[in-house]
Amino acid sequence: MMNEQKIQDIVATVLAQLGETNVTPAAVTKVVDTAVSTGGSEVVSGESLPDLGEKCFKKWNGIENAADNKVVEDLMSQTDARVGTGRTGPRPRTTALLRFLADHSRSKDTVIKNVESSWLQERNLMEVQSCASDKDEYLTRPDLGRKLNEDAKKLIQENCKQTPQVQVVLSDGLSLDAVTVNHDEILPPLLNGLKNAGLDVGTPFFLRYGRVKAQDEIGMLLNAEVNLLLIGERPGLGQSESLSCYAIYKPTTETVESDRTVISNIHAGGTPPVEAAAVIVDLAKTMLAQKASGINLKR
Instruction: List binding-site positions for adenosylcob(III)alamin.
Output: 212, 233
> Which residues are paired to 236 by β-bridges?
239
Residue type, 127: E
Who contacts 135 (Cβ-Cβ below 8 Å, separation ≥6)? 112, 114, 209
Alpha helical stretches, state H, 3-149:
4-17, 55-58, 69-77, 94-112, 117-122, 135-140, 142-145
Who contacts 72 (Cβ-Cβ below 8 Å, separation ≥6)? 61, 63, 66, 83, 84
Gap between the Cα atoms of 221 and 245, Å rounded: 20
Q: Do 248 and 219 meet the contact criterion of CB atoms below 8 Å apart? A: yes
Residue type, 97: L
Gap between the Cα atoms of 201 and 116, Å rounded: 26
For residue 25, count other CB atoms closer than 10 A to its CB. 13
Of residues 228, 231, 244, the one with CA closest to residue 287: 228
> Which residues contribute to the annotated binding site?
212, 233
Gap between the Cα atoms of 201 and 233, Å rounded: 25
Residue type, 12: A
For residue 169, count other CB atoms closer than 10 A to its CB. 27
